[in-house]
Amino acid sequence: MRDSQRGFSILLAAVILIIIVGVVFAIIALFGHQRSEGAVAQAAARLSRAEEALEQFASASGRLPCPANPALDTGDADPLNPLQPCNSPTGTLPWHTIGLARDDSFDSWGWRISYRVYTGAAGSLTQPNGASMALCDTNTLSSPGLGAGGICQGVRGWYTKDSEYLAGKGLPVTDFGVPHLDAAYVLVSHGPSGLGAYTASGSQKPLPANPDELANTTATGPFIARAASSPDIAADDAAHFDDVLAYRTLQDFVNRARLAARDWPDPALASVRADTATVSAAVGTSVSPGSEIGPSVVFNNATVTASAGGTAENVSFDVVGGTEGIGGGGGGGGGTQLSSADSEVLSIEFNVTAQVFAFTLDGFGCRSSCADADQVQLTFYMNDVAVASGPVMLSACNDGDGLASFSIDRGPSPGGDFNRVDIAPKPSVPGGIDTTILMSEFKTCLAGGGCATSLDTGSGPGGNHCP
């Protein structure tokens, strides 16, 4: 009986011991799991701190720093000055350059945090102002295009479109199955295994066998963020993954760094219909046909002056065939109209640079089915220097002294820029008859888009547009 009791007691003790051992292992496993989760959370927090420092650096400098040389312990970007490409494209966080402590450059497992930054052909973010969209416009009619190196620029009051700056820039990141092609930078903690990471002494640990982890060690990716593999998968197994990533898309990054594009005011281009109401408003008094209205008339972004034979004269206002317009008041053969016989010129100087000049003349026509056509010469200037392409000679295309509309596109900036145009009537060809005209409407535009006056009725039958 005692032997039976003794055996039962031994069995019970063994069972209790097994239970205790199981509980202990469960506690150890739970504690280890909690420690693992805590380490991941700590790594994520350090990556977040690094992101804030990078954004503060960019906010102050207009660019991102290059990665640090991982073999050195200085924490300086390599190189310090703005440069593309960087010397250490697969380097580590430049903690000293961005104002962090040395400890902030290590993840929670003691490995250096890797740092990648976009320096591609569409425009490096590490060059001067490379990460700034301050001169990009969120709502612009036109754009001077990207500046050298693919950066935003403001030219003559026009700004680069934000879509032009953002196009094609960024590192590829797949975030838990969602692809992004526009990461400004990527930060990588190489996880508990540290495979591919740099140590505090500057040596690199063996590269991982997992293709996703291996991609995270390269300079341009594609970078992968996904769930960690099961703890029972060995670090050197191709199925193993334990990296922790942080990144910002380029748009999100410039917003957070206060370098985003803004709605720049578009410069107002000139558009003047020289009718009674417009001319009266410009001179500050009511005008009537056949009157001289002063040595100059200031319209919306345009100042008009007149001359005869090189001598200044008053600008005039008149009506021909029911359409109003402005001319020269020399009192010669053309009266209040611009006359080739008097060598008169109407000069229009613009406040804003343009590339297209559209205008409608009144009294500009031809005779005998245009066998003899009135002529007008246009000379374009940029800051009072005549453009290299020389004057443009235009011919009337409709019988009679009616309206004739033109649109002269001088091409894209900067070659086609002008801010003044001189309009001079010339004798008809071949008859040499005096040409007399009024400027009824003019308008300036940027190159590449349609530009026509409101009086332009188009080409073809019944239209007044001339080629």
Q: Is the peptide bond before 179 cis (omega within 30 degrees of 0)?
A: no
pTM of the model: 0.66
Q: Which of 250, 224, 38 is nearest to 150 (CA)?
A: 250
Say what the pLDDT of residue 353 is: 87
Say what the pLDDT of residue 5 is: 52
- Rounded to an integer, what distance in angstroms lies between the CA atom of residue 304 and that of residue 302? 7
Say what the pLDDT of residue 28 is: 35
Query: Tokens for 326?
Result: 């402005």
- Rounded to an integer, what distance in angstroms lies between the CA atom of residue 304 and that of residue 286? 18
Say what the pLDDT of residue 34 is: 40
Cβ contact 424:345 at 8 Å: yes
Cβ contact 217:90 at 8 Å: yes
Q: Which residues contact 331 (CB under 8 A, 6 or more apart)?
A: none
Other C-beta atoms closer than 10 Å to the C-beta of 263 total 11
- Rounded to an integer, what distance in angstroms lies between the CA atom of residue 278 and that of residue 212? 69
Give the residues of the chain that fall short of pLDDT 50. 1-2, 15, 19-35
Domains of the chain: 32-256 (no CATH), 271-445 (2.60.120)
Cβ contact 431:374 at 8 Å: no
Say what the pLDDT of residue 27 is: 33
Say what the pLDDT of residue 7 is: 53
112-151 pLDDT, tens per residue?
Answer: 999 999 999 999 999 999 999 999 999 877 788 899 999 9
- Rounded to an integer, what distance in angstroms lies between the CA atom of residue 366 and that of residue 158? 40
Cβ contact 196:190 at 8 Å: yes
Distances (CA, A) of 428 to 302, 372, 374, 422: 29, 6, 4, 18
- Return the percent helix, strand and coil in the chain, to nearest 5: 20, 30, 50
Say what the pLDDT of residue 21 is: 42
Say what the pLDDT of residue 118 is: 97
Cβ contact 141:149 at 8 Å: no
CA angle, residues 307, 378, 269, in degrees to nearest 5: 90
